[in-house]
Amino acid sequence: MLDDERPNTLINSDLLQKVEGKFVRIEMFHKGNAYRVTEADLPFYIGRDPKVNSLSVDKELVSRIHCVVDIKEKQIGILDRSTNGTVVKVGEASSVIIRDEFYPLTGKGCLSLGEQYSSEQSDLILFKVVIEAV
């Protein structure tokens, strides 16, 4: 047992501080289109209605305004505003279904709107969060 009685999360907090940075942009890719979203472009709307959304997905399960990329508590993430939920998959981790909640985005991953994640889907939205080292 360690002499220090602090929880492991505090012991490891020095490592986290070294990888923190400032959000620069999120790059999104959908059906051959690339979207380079900076802080000035936020909030960035994703949904079925092309008149309202910056990224439009024409599918029955996708809500008119399905989700929003935005910053909350100094972290970039996705806010689900849909009827059917948004599935988020980051890296090799398991996918997570969010409904009416904010989910922070890091690294690389993909979004599935209104249906379970499958690597075979044609409507996946790929993303990459770009952070500038402090």
Average pLDDT over all residues of the chain: 86
Could you tell me if 76 and 108 are in contact, meaning their C-beta atoms sit under 8 angstroms apart?
Answer: no
Q: Which residues contact 95 (CB under 8 A, 6 or more apart)?
A: 87, 88, 89, 112, 116, 117
- Statement: residue 132 has pLDDT above 50: yes
The number of beta carbons lying within 10 Å of the beta carbon of residue 13 is 11
pLDDT at 5: 46
Q: Which residue has the higher pLDDT, 17 or 46?
A: 46
pLDDT of residue 110: 96
User: What's the mean pLDDT in 4-14?
Assistant: 39
Residue 58 has pLDDT above 60, yes or no: yes
